[in-house]
Chains A and B, each alone.
Chain A
């Protein structure tokens, strides 16, 4: 183990990713501190961390976006470094700068790179300038007066996106140009609220693409390596649901070109720490989508196939170390699939669900990893993201991994708040998914998956519910059947 210039790391995040980071900090014998909003007081990260520091905000999310409170918490914890996780302030250049200027190590890239890649337009222009492929688009700030006109002249359906955006926020598909101006207004409003930045751009919406991304690691000595690609095409509302590594249907040649391109983009940007370049792939073509300058939700599938703890590498790079391996040292073994357990009802248009976790029991077994952010007794609200846990499997083949993941989704018991677990089990068993024929429109095109088992075992469920309901049992007991009264058996 190498000595790091800090012994305590503040995690400016919550949920499963805070737990995930704490686990690595423990392994590296570092102390963990976590900030939390009162709503999360019962969350596992708060009890697991060596120190938990409350933060406040009128809206819970606002507390996690408050740089001053987080820096103050880091001081209180005597932390030497701040890990931002994903979401919240993880891709906020001002935050990264404030962290560094306050004397902490930022576990992520430099503020300059975050700024470059965080602005989707700048990032796109940067990539294009360096000779890598991008999708045809109209950028508002090039000339706001002609924005709509330029957008209209792009052929095909359009995608309205927030310049400062990510994670599907502020995004709208426009198929009918008459609705373009409405879509712009709504996307702008969302972008303004989520990112404090209403600037937009519009690009051609490529139908049925694959979403392929490459995990990168860079250090401050100019070394950049890739940890292979991930396939993240199974999405609903631009939100990833199932991710895997490797991408099974890419030809070896295309796979290599995509990974090489990602490394070249990162090198051109002088990238350091963990990052991901996302591409959309259509036929044999691929286009730069964006670069995420942070740890990704789906990083575990890469950890499973490479055996590399990405959070540990992030900490070493932040501590000033050179990468511990070069490209030929990194090998991919077997196949890994991650399924995201969300508090949502797939059969009701993936509407978010709420409730208190009354029973929680995760499956376990060889090749199974659970990254969970909840514990029994915790209240699930809509105040934060609806991701509850991730179930990650690693097997020698894709089919085996899919089967293991499907069983795990069925064995997972979470009562009190509806989740998408049954839906995930259906997707993992779907023939089209098993053939690897997925694209970003796959779930939308297969709405039957949201109701694939809705009729089965109905009478069994009704019987169990009836037996568990006092008035129903009582009215049966009040009229005992002849046999029952002869037996003299009484229900207690």
Chain B
């Protein structure tokens, strides 16, 4: 069975199979054999690939896997195909402005039900030191403002939803 991991916005399909005392990774045309990862406690592990072992540091937080290998830190997300599908369905019919980065809402310029045109300023957000304006990509009606002024949001949070109707 194929599994999907997301890394820096790209999805990678792979699967594992048992092989000898350990596992094999099937990834595209590649097969990595004689794999294993032993836990040594405190987020330390020993990754073995084809008989060669190297230390890894890891932290697993739900579907998110944080890894430090060979001097680099990467965050991978295990994608449950069902939840990915649900997200798309929820957004269908609505235009969604998502947070490009975590931050704080400085000002909201419109309310639910407002008729807006392409380019209308919807919200001013601030992240660290920079303010930016979220503008409507097209004509429509404001469905919902998801955060009040002064509230903070995380990366990818839905800030404003717009419906295309009412014009």
Contacts and interface: CB of A to CB of B under 8 A. Distances in A.
Interface of A: 58-59, 167-169, 186, 189-190, 193-194, 237, 239, 347-349, 351-354, 356, 358-359, 361, 381-383, 385-386, 407, 409-411, 413-416, 418-419, 421-422, 425, 453-454, 456-469, 471-473, 475-477, 479-481, 483-484, 487, 489
B49 to A, nearest CB: 7
Contact of B59 (A411, A416, A421): A416
Contacts of B155: 351, 353-354
B11 to A, nearest CB: 11
Interface of B: 1, 3, 5, 7-8, 12, 14-21, 23-25, 27, 30, 32, 35-37, 42-43, 45, 47, 49, 56-61, 65-76, 78, 100-104, 106, 126-131, 150, 152, 154-155
Given A347-B8, A462-B14, A169 B102 contact: no
A468 B60 contact: yes
Contacts of B100: 351
Given A415-B73, A484-B18, A359 B59 contact: yes
B16 A476 contact: yes
Given A461-B74, A483-B20, 14 more contacts: A59-B104, A59-B150, A237-B129, A351-B102, A352-B102, A382-B103, A415-B58, A425-B71, A461-B67, A462-B14, A467-B16, A469-B60, A472-B15, A483-B19
A415 B68 contact: yes
A237 B101 CA distance: 16
B49 A460 contact: yes
Contacts of A59: 104, 150
B154 A354 contact: yes
5 contacts: A382-B104, A415-B58, A459-B30, A465-B76, A468-B60
Contact of A467 (B23, B101, B126): B23
B72 A422 contact: yes
B3 A469 contact: yes
Contact of A472 (B8, B16, B43): B16
A462 B45 CA distance: 15
B103 A463 contact: no
B66 A416 contact: yes
Given A190-B129, A421-B73, A464-B47, A351 B37 contact: no
B37 A358 contact: no
A353 B102 contact: yes
A453 B72 contact: yes
A464 B78 contact: no
B56 A476 contact: no
Given A382-B152, A418-B75, A348 B69 contact: no
Contacts of A472: 3, 14-16, 78
Contacts of B69: 457, 460-461, 464
Contacts of A415: 43, 57-59, 66-68, 73
Contact of B19 (A414, A458, A481): A481
Given A462-B5, A475-B15, A477-B18, A352 B59 contact: no
Contact of A487 (B12, B20, B106): B20
A348 B12 contact: no
A69 to B, nearest CB: 19
Contacts of B16: 466-467, 472-473, 475-476
B127 A462 contact: no
A463 B150 contact: no
Contacts of B59: 358-359, 415-416
Contacts of B68: 359, 413, 415
Given A169-B129, A352-B101, A354-B154, A481 B12 contact: no
A324 B60 CA distance: 52
Contact of A468 (B19, B20, B58, B150): B58
A401 B8 CA distance: 31
A346 B32 CA distance: 30
